Amino acid sequence: MRRFHVATEEEIKNAGTTDVYFSRTREILEKEGLADLRVTAEITTSSLPKNWEWGILAGVEEALHLLEGINVDVKSFPEGTLFHANDALGVREPVMVLEGRYVDFCTYETPLLGLLCHASGIATMAARVRRSAGTKAMLSFGIRRAHPALAPMIDRACYIGGFDAVSSLVGARLLGKNASGTMPHSLIIAMGDQVRAWKSYDEHMPEAVPRIMLVDTYCDEKTEAIMAAEALGGKLFGVRLDTPGSRRGNFADIIKEVRWELDLRGFKNVKIYASGGLDDESVRTLSDAGADGFGVGTSVSNAPSVDFAMDIVEAAGKPVAKRGKLGGRKEVWRCDQCLLEYVVPEHAPAPVCRKCGSKTQRMLERLLEKGRVTGSLPTPDRIRENVIHQLAKLTTS
């Protein structure tokens, strides 16, 4: 009996997390003499959650590790690519394409989609929050809202989506970073006094840890912010407001008040950080009010998944498709200026952007060939840089 209700890496790799009907499908095909049937399958989505106009593809690295060693070819948008559900002409965009014997990879559809759907939802919301925050600091605070086995995945998806830092020890370690955070209310309550807690934090934490003090445990936020500034003086890097919704009132006004009172007393360099129930809309509002950084949790860790599906579009060399889908192998081309995509049959010439007339670039790259990764995978830092670069070009919400 296992202590935690999660699949092992071996169970995931051996397709133990698939839906049973895929195992039955493989058995039937093998017994009917169709074990060698070669197919092309593509992964698309018909729409994005919450009427989002764009998404960020994530989970690709894990998808490749899942399929590594299986005799299958994979073409995909690179991880961190901005995509749309449909191209400029309304055709669904294949973000990943698999080619090979169907019996070799059919049982991997369930875990493959799970890896892509979940991580892409989180990375997309993280990127939306990043757009709202501009260049201001963003910290991932959401792991407590999900199963702890998922903490590294959540933190990675947040980071590549544009966050600056993550809070979990293991998530940060796997990213090659130091975990970031401030202090909980429980520290202040356990010590019985805000000032004592702040000074103890300053005394015992390494110099490299910024002195960001929580200022809403017992008193009015601006009162505690002043207390913290006077207690730590020039050592105080910032204050964090995590006021619960029941006591918050107008959070933007509270931030303005705290900023005013700190500035009035000569603490203009002290940063203001906000956390607690934030999302892309509230971050934009609080940023305009003067907040310097944000800890964002539930809205990213519990972001809606992208509803990807995998469909066969070619079997035995012939185009096929179920109702509502388009058959045949395809290519996806993008205008790098407008970030518009165009889906065309595989051997059709590269289209010209209908909006600006620029040449387009092929988006699907071969990442797996006969079960072998074709090159080095991009680092999380490189993926994040590319995401931020694409966000800068966006003109839609």
Query: Can you tell me the distance from the alpha carbon of 241 to that of 237, in angstroms, rounded to the nearest whole number?
Result: 14
Locate CATH 3.20.140.10 in the chain: 9-120+305-391
Beta-carbon count within 10 A of 36 CB: 12
Residue 396 clears pLDDT 80, i.e. is over it: no
Measured at the CA of 84, the angle between CA 80 and CA 86, to 5 degrees, comes to: 150
pLDDT digits (tens, 9 = 90+) for 237-268: 999 999 666 565 799 999 999 999 999 999 99
Domain with CATH 3.20.20.70 in the chain: 134-301
Q: What is the reported pLDDT for 238?
A: 99
Return the CATH number of the domain spanning residue range 134-301: 3.20.20.70
- What one-character DSSP code corresponds to residue 375? S
pLDDT of residue 309: 98
365-369 and 137-140 strand pairing: unpaired
Distance CA 198, CA 183 (A): 9
9-120+305-391 topology per CATH: nicotinate phosphoribosyltransferase (3.20.140)
The model's pTM = 0.96
**Helix, strand, or coil (residue 283):** helix
pLDDT-derived band at 130 (thresholds 50, 70, 90) equals: very high
- Predicted pLDDT at 246: 53
